[in-house]
Amino acid sequence: MPDLSRPDHLPNRRPDRQPRHPSWLPRQRRGTTPQMIGRYPDYDVLDAVDTWDEATKKVVLARLEPPGPLRFFTPDEEPVLRALCDTALAQDCQPRIPVAEMVDGKLADGKLDGYQYADMPDDPDTWRLVLGGLDHTAVQSYQTGFARCGAAQREAIVAQFAKGRLVGGAWDELNVTRAWSVVMRMMLAAFYSHPWAWNEIGFGGPAYPRGFMRLGGAGKQGAQVREPFEKPGATSEDPVQIVESWER
């Protein structure tokens, strides 16, 4: 594992030591997105709520209710869980999609995916081992728990987790690469099931019973294949290329 106590692994920062601001994204003007930025600033998927049937409406709107207390994770695990969710999903200010609560609820209710890797423990056990492993790595590298690390330090640890390079402590009980897949699958499923994420990516939401009118690929036709309820993005810049340019 790389020596995380040295500064050369840390993400590039502006001269004031703050993270680079996602300046290519405008402020959200309509609806809510994570951190109130997005490529579709005048789009709100909830404008279509009257086109949904009652069952769909009930399911989607329930995701906007204030989250309750955690039921699966312990008070000691909660700050580590929240730090992991915020770091992995780049939610560093409000409003945040309550991914930690959504993951906790899924585990507490036993609503799992119905499959797992043959050489991995059950998902609930994997999650507890991952949180313990993150704390182990943080203490070894920075002499403090993962939740108390600075943003750049947490990003460095999560980056090594994504590459399967963490060792020692709870990590020795896991296939680290597969553990990353397990936790990211659950976090991403929670994040992209939320209407705020739909606003961020311009997703039209449930199509039942409204259906779709445009079934062809975008090709060169642009607006001709856009659904009437869809809006063009406010910017065409590629965020992947922008982030990669920061690292150069």
Task: Please give the DSSP secondary-structure letter assigned to residue 18.
Answer: P
pLDDT value at residue 2? 58
Does the pLDDT of residue 28 top 90, yes or no? yes
Instruction: Write out pLDDT tens, residues 200-227.
Output: 999 988 887 777 777 665 555 545 577 7
Residues 27/39, Cβ–Cβ less than 8 Å: no
Mean pLDDT over each residue of the chain, to the nearest integer: 87
Q: How large is the average pLDDT for residues 30-40?
A: 93
97's tokens: 């999609």
Nearest to 38 by CA among 148, 185, 202, 177: 202
pLDDT-derived band at 12, boundaries 50, 70, 90: very low
| pLDDT exceeds cutoff 60 at 75 | yes
DSSP 212: -
Rounded to a whole number of angstroms, the CA Rg of the chain reads 20
**pLDDT reported for residue 230:** 77
pLDDT, tens only, 113-160: 888 899 999 999 999 999 999 999 999 999 999 999 999 999 999 999
